[in-house]
């Protein structure tokens, strides 16, 4: 099992904005002090701070937009009684109703049971092992770098696992 850290890209923008604001405050303070001594030093510090803030804005990654398709699980409805491993067949639909490739060539599938990652995959047919009882399966599409989309492209599937049994992998969208 591979462990992956999902880092919300949206928080990078907030961090960059905070950094740029801090640079602006420092530059303003230095400018006031420099104005009292030598105007040339203040202009240089202000220009350097403006360049640093612009550079920060340029290298800050913006949140990644999700693919245009919707996500569903074939023949698996909320509250379903299932066996373990739970077979999940992911289906994607374009806005016009045509099928979409899931997850897509540059994406991965993240699977969690009750909030704990249990697997990642690159194919839409999943066999997720779970103990008997009630669980919530979360299936999320991530970028190839394991970054969550904004807004996230995911489905939560509450299921009740009754027992272990051989999986039926014949489910199709």
Over residues 24-56, the pLDDT tens digits come to 666 666 666 666 566 666 677 777 777 777 777
- Mean pLDDT, range 147-170, rounded to an integer: 90
User: What is the Cβ-side half-sphere exposure of residue 17, based on CA atoms within 13 angstroms?
Assistant: 6
Which residue(s) pair with 107 in the sheet?
A: 143
**Residues 88, 75: Cα–Cα separation, whole Å:** 8
CA dihedral 14, 15, 18, 24 (to 10 degrees): -120
pLDDT digits (tens, 9 = 90+) for 68-95: 889 999 988 889 999 999 999 999 999 9
- Calculate the average pLDDT of the chain: 81
User: What is the Cβ-side half-sphere exposure of residue 110, based on CA atoms within 13 angstroms?
Assistant: 27
Indicate the class that CATH gives domain 70-164.
mainly beta
For residues 115 and 141, the answer to whether their CB atoms sit within 8 Å is no
Asked whether residue 23 carries a pLDDT value surpassing 70, the answer given is no
Residue environment code for 4-28, b if the CB has 16+ CB neighbours within 10 A, otherwise e: eeeeebeebeeebeeebeebeeebe
Task: Say which residue, 29 or 2, is predicted with more confidence.
Answer: 29
* H or E stretch at 55: helix 39-59
């Amino acid at each position: 099992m591979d462990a992956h850290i999902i880092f919300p890209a949206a928080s990078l923008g907030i961090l960059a904005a905070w950094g740029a604001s801090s640079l602006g405050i420092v530059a303003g303070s230095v400018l006031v002090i420099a104005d009292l001594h030598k105007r040339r030093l203040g202009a240089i510090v202000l220009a350097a701070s403006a360049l640093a803030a612009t550079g920060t804005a340029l290298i800050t990654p913006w949140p990644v937009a999700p693919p245009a398709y919707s996500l569903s699980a074939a023949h698996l409805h909320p509250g379903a009684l299932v066996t373990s491993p739970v077979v999940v067949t992911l289906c994607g639909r374009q806005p016009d109703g045509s099928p979409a490739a899931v997850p897509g060539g540059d994406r991965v599938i993240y699977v969690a049971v009750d909030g704990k990652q249990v697997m990642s995959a690159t194919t839409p047919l999943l066999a997720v092992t779970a103990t008997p009882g009630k669980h919530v399966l979360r299936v999320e599409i991530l970028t190839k770098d394991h970054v969550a989309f904004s807004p996230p492209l995911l489905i939560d599937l509450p299921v009740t696992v009754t027992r272990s049994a051989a999986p039926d992998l014949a489910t199709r969208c």
